A and B are shown apart, each in its own frame.
Chain A
Amino acid sequence: MSSIAQKKGFGATIWDYLTTVDHKKIAILYFISGGLFFVIGGIEAMMIRIQLMKAGNDFLSAGLYNEIITMHGTTMIFLASMPLLLAFMNAVMPLQIGARDVAFPFLNSLGFWLFFFGGIFLNLSWFLGGAPDAGWTNYASLAMASEGHGIDFYTLGLTISGFGTLIAGINFLVTIINMRAPGMTYMRMPLFTWTTFVASALILLAFPPLTIGLFFMVFDRLFGANFFDVAMGGNTIIWEHLFWIFGHPEVYILILPAFGIFSEIFAIFSRKRLFGYTALVFATILIGFYGFMVWAHHMFTVGLGPTANAVFALATMIIAVPTGVKIFNWLLTIWGGNVSFTTPMLYAVAFIPSFVAGGVTGVMQAMAPLDYQLHDSYFIVAHFHYVIVGGVVLALLAGTHLYWPKMFGTMLSEKLGKITFWFFLIGFHLTFFIQHFLGLMGMPRRVYTFGANQGWDTYNMISSFGALFMAIGVIVLLINVVLTIVKNERIGNDPWGDGRTLEWAIPSPPPFYNFPQTPLVRGLDSYWIEKMEGNKEGMVYAEPLGDIHMPNGSIIPLIMSFGMFVAAFGAMYHMDGDKAWALPVLVIGLGITFGSMLVRSLKDDLGFYITKEELLRDAKGGNNNGSK
């Protein structure tokens, strides 16, 4: 366990990543797997747009189309956006608060592997008899009627990856509550840390209802329970409530960290302190808070009655206020600044009009009677892609450029980055702007085909054409990534030159213990303060150089998650009734999980110490490649 840089073989590197509990490496794991699922989800999106390119197209069959839209939505939300955001949270948040790791490094790893195996399980459905086909919302009556195992892949896969996300949420909350460096008060936390904090709280309270809903469906489909069986007294609306009690906060789980990333970008590239930091923090908290009180606006047409509809309509409209506060504070951050249009800043600048457009259509849908027209039409498709692509995906792309140097120690090409940006942005608006009008012209969503002469042909063609642009943008980004890795030009602590927060004060990538000495934070934008005062080291220290306690790596998280993966297969095929092996597989899977939990519990794991001498050697040798 030495911190000395050493050449490692390929196998050793793989093993290192399989057992790592280092938040920066887990971030890379999230980043790679999230990116992979993003590409898969993107391919699914392209297939959807090819199918809808012209009226009566037969590129995809009806059943297959439903599987693809279901998997596109599920993959993009659960397996691409969330993990990519978790990647940035893992990579950056502990650095921003001056911590050496997260509160529970072991659980951090467990969270990742649960997500990973859940995602793999869900995607294996393509090869094992068909994917889920009831939409990403998986409404109960259709899901219960769905034949084959598609829906079971959905419920069990999301249960597993949902546990992973819940664990990650708790972990980040505790990290931010307990692990902040001296002087890092709540009101000095960078906004990305704040949004991570609020998003984690939302994860904590929103995922349990989803898990319960998924359990009900598993019990119904596999064990003959009657939660959603109307003939047996069940009620499918329960699913809708549980799903949206999760589903609406989920939107904010995605968008708040995106806001956080953009807040960092606006401040860095305007070379200016965030305007109205306090207001931004409170707006974040308010959005999170209101996020739990508006779920029924997804259910205006269910027939909940005018009182419920009116109340939820008003509650929904109120959310526009804190969101507006954010937008104006960002604008005022740019105002009076010194703006450099780097790739991350381009994304941030493009985000404002795109997200405002998505936001205002959201307020329009909050008007319940108007929503009777808009609901489940292409207007909705346009709206949520404007907020999720125009908000979250732009943030992910911006974050990729912004934090790539901190995560990998190299710079993505700005030139290719800007090419990606223009293709993606133009493609995005081309694809989705027009869909508002398709919806208003009466086109329902989730249709695998449409008849000619309903006035929708041209618009659909344009929309499909735009999707092609987005695909080109993503391909350029992938080329950019490959070229950057091949070139491997190392960069310093603060590659953007205007970094403001602690993560830019340390090497890129940071050593695995992050900070040889815990920093002392003297105000908001700690690194900026030190820079302005001419402090070459970028920080002042809260402790003398001394031994550092670090956690041990462990393979147990992977094994534990694998056990769940195995058990899920057992549970699923047990339903068929003709597979004798299913029950043993279920038992073995659970045995692996609980067995490894027991091992973890019984085995003392006290971590290890990096000595002062090793730290000094690191500092002299300039070892900043992050390996141990």
Chain B
Amino acid sequence: MDLNKKYTPQTWPDHPETATLEGKNKFVGFWLLLAAETVTFASLFATYLALKDKGPSGMEFSASELFELPLVFAMTMILLTSSLTSVYAMYHMKNHNFKAMQAWLGITVFLGLSFLGLEIYEFNHYVHIGFGYTNSAFSSAFFTLVGTHGAHVLFGLSWFIALMLRNSKRGLNMYNAPKFYLASLYWHFIDVVWVFIFTVVYLMGVIG
């Protein structure tokens, strides 16, 4: 593969992420990884549901008393929007418009960071009012599930940032196009997981 080959929007393939064998391998492999991630989160969700509201006798916090929807709703909206902006970024990637892609990715990262900030605030708040990690089986399950998602967000953001900085000078080529694509795919996955967290943990938690 020649890194120095220059592409124009005309010579750029329609599906740059799968135009090379390496790209194809990465594409398939990443989908498989997401399958494994799905099972991972399924295990976490199942455990959370089994341990929901379970704790030592006289436990102070239960889901319906603890969660407050407005903040979580804002977080959900932010993350959903960031998924959309990463779609825009990929749209520009496929049109070989590097600057626009970087810009949209920048917005995605900004939204992701806001989400993460709010999550940290939320956790901090819980710990502050006495709902710590070691508080009960419920608290352990809650923090582990939501925290694992948060760790994925952090990893996704680091990935985006590393890719953007690394390629800022040299633009798009067949070598890094699949990488951008996969990072964006990962971001969508994180988003989907959050939708489930929002539903299963927060909505169902508040309802009781």
Contacts and interface: CB of A to CB of B under 8 A. Distances in A.
Interface string A601-628: 1101010000000000000000000000
Interface stretch (B102-110, B116-124, B137-145, B197-205): B137-145
Interface string A236-252: 00100110010000000
Interface string B47-58: 100110011100
A187 interface: no
9 contacts: A103-B29, A170-B32, A220-B140, A233-B136, A234-B137, A242-B43, A242-B47, A245-B43, A602-B162
B39 interface: yes
A225 B51 CA distance: 12
Q: Can you list the 3 inter-chain pairs with the closest CB atoms, starting with the nearest? A: A233-B54, A233-B137, A225-B140
Interface string A384-412: 00000000000000000000000000000
B25 interface: yes
B182 to A, nearest CB: 11
B36 A170 contact: yes
Contact of B134 (A173, A216, A224, A231): A224
A170 B29 contact: yes
Contacts of B51: 227, 233-235, 238
B43 A235 contact: no
B141 A227 contact: yes
A2 B39 CA distance: 44
B159 to A, nearest CB: 8
Contacts of B3: 604, 606
B28 interface: yes
Contacts of A170: 29, 32-33, 36
A141 interface: no
A241 B54 CA distance: 18
Interface in B147-195: 162-163, 166, 175
B98 interface: no
A318 B23 CA distance: 40
Contacts of B36: 166, 170, 204-205, 207-208
Contacts of B39: 205, 208-209
A598 interface: yes
A398 B99 CA distance: 58
B1 interface: yes
Interface size class of B (residues with CB under 8 A): 35 or more
A250 to B, nearest CB: 14
Given A215-B144, A238-B47, 12 more contacts: A204-B36, A205-B35, A205-B39, A208-B40, A208-B43, A220-B140, A223-B133, A223-B134, A226-B136, A227-B137, A238-B50, A606-B3
A565 B135 CA distance: 30
A225 B40 contact: no
Interface string A533-567: 00000000000000000000000000000000000
A341 to B, nearest CB: 41
A226 B43 contact: no
A104 B141 contact: no
Contacts of A225: 133-134, 140, 144
A423 to B, nearest CB: 41
Contacts of A209: 39-40, 43
A173 B162 CA distance: 28
Nearest to A204: B36
Nearest to B47: A238
B44 interface: yes
B37 interface: yes
Contact of A178 (B24, B33, B140): B24
B25 A103 contact: yes
Contacts of A204: 32, 35-36
A145 interface: no
B77 interface: no
